Amino acid sequence: MTTGGLPVPGRTARPPEHRQESTNLADILERVLDKGIVIAGDIRVNLLDIELLTIKIRLLVASVDKAREMGIDWWEHDPSLSSGQRDLNEENRRLRQRIGDLEAARTRGELENGSAPDAEAESRPEAQPESRPEAQPEPVRRRSARAREERE
Amino acid sequence: MSLVWLYAVRHGGADRPPAGPGVDGERPRLVVEGPLVAVVGTVREEEFDEAALARAMEDLDRIERLARAHHAVIVEAAAEEPTAPLRLATVYRDDEAVARMLRERAAEFAQVLERVRDRQEWGVKVYVDAKPEAPAEEPASSGKPGTAYLLRRRADRDRGAQARERARAVADRIDETLAGVAAAAHRMRPQDARLSGRAQEMVLNATYLVDAEAEEGFRAALAAVEADGATVELTGPWPPFSFATLGES
């Protein structure tokens, strides 16, 4: 049955807390996709797809390069707990290389009149975000093509 | 041809459909079955059949529009009556199929609606400075840079672990405090820092089912948490998405 009924004045007055546009999309998706009553309707929307979707959403909205870690164990794996540790692996590699060089130098006795390796390593400035080697040229081309279109 | 999109099931308000607009721009309707009232919308089949929905799920913009419209109708539907929100994309062939489902699950819905009656869901996110503190002291130099490096690395790792442990403890304590005031509590995965745009780390992303009468106490508990130095973000009230689950007692 469909309800007609009396016109109710004030129905346009929404609850004061209703701020639809400003509500964080992630907050909404967390609820409408992950929560709420689950019933299989007549139209089958595979729930596995919904699960996959939330992962996709996390990939797109939340965290492109960390979704896998987030999906496994956020606390254990999230390097952004310390933003200084983002490039840990790279820093690790560089420092190991440096130490290898220094220790090799020391064994050759060349360090006697050199500078203190520790201080040098410590004062190394924070690495600038380097251009990612995996950056794909394809989207860039497309973007610039689009930019050209817009200019025309 | 058209299909029927299901937004929510509630008790009462059988003469007051939400104004909408719904997910297909439609004005929501009601399907009444005994004491249960389903809030539905008539949507175009070509946009909401299996193939179309599968496509929609690949399109984040479309998902956002669907999610926002679905949410908005449910917020309206839940304003005055105990309401059980449906998960996104629950679609039936016609009103009779909806009514049949309501008949079959009447007892379950009655139970769910009783659980959320006069209660609202509040989302709470807590942020703290989770950065490890600066090194307190350099490990004594052993004269071997390799050893010093390893000691530094270990100290870094320990500080990181300590920061995580502290953040976890803060989250647990706050969650415990708020859950004590709430009728029910549910923890979600903290959102990524890039979503919030904050420098601080989200250590708690939880949601609470709070009695209307207990709202003041809940807010007071939150204020106490805030006074303790954490940054707190309150969202809501939400329709009870996280606490309306069939088949639970």
- Nearest CA-CA partner of B65 in B85, B31, B89: B89
pLDDT digits (tens, 9 = 90+) for B122-143: 999 998 875 655 655 655 656 7
Q: What is the pLDDT of residue B139?
A: 55
DSSP state of A45: -
- Strands of the sheet containing B231-238, edge to edge, are B184-188, B201-211, B119-128, B231-238
Q: What is the pLDDT of residue B34?
A: 94
Domain boundaries, chain B: 2-111, 119-243
For A12, residues 6+ apart whose C-beta sits below 8 A from its C-beta are: B19
DSSP string, B78-112: TTTS-EEEBPS--EESSHHHHHHHHHHTHHHHHHH
In the predicted structure, residue A108 carries a pLDDT above the cut 80: no
Question: In this predicted structure, which of A114-128, B163-177, B201-215, B233-247 has the lowest mean pLDDT?
Answer: A114-128
pLDDT digits (tens, 9 = 90+) for B80-100: 899 999 999 999 999 999 999
Domain covering B119-243, topology: Alpha-Beta Plaits (3.30.70)
Tokens 């707990």 -> residue: A81
Question: Is the CB of A31 less than 8 angstroms away from the CB of B89?
Answer: no
Q: What is the mean pLDDT of residues B4-24?
A: 95
Residues of B in contact with A49 (CB under 8 A): 54, 57
- Asked whether this complex has an ipTM greater than 0.90, the answer is no
- Averaged pLDDT score across all residues of chain B: 89
Residues of A in contact with B16 (CB under 8 A): 3, 5, 8, 11
- DSSP helix, strand, coil percent of chain A (3-state; round to 5): 55, 0, 45
Residue B200 or A56, more confident: B200
Residue B79 or A126, more confident: B79
In the predicted structure, residue A3 carries a pLDDT above the cut 50: no
DSSP string, B13-58: -TT-------TTSPPPEEEEETTEEEEEEEEEHHHHSHHHHHHHTT
- The angle at the Cα of B189, spanning B185 to B194, to the nearest 5 degrees, equals 135
Distance set, CA B79 to CA A11, A15, A23, B117, B161 (Å): 11, 7, 17, 12, 44
Question: In this predicted structure, which of A3-12, A61-70, A81-90, B77-86 has the lowest mean pLDDT?
Answer: A3-12
Question: Is the CB of B85 less than 8 angstroms away from the CB of A15?
Answer: no
- CA of residue B152 relative to chain centroid, distance: 41
Residue A86 or B232, more confident: B232
- Nearest CA-CA partner of A89 in B160, A40, A97, B43: A97
The pTM for the full model equals 0.67
User: Closest chain A residue to B63 measured between Cα atoms?
Assistant: A29
Question: In this predicted structure, which of A89-103, B30-44, B63-77, B105-119 has the lowest mean pLDDT?
Answer: A89-103
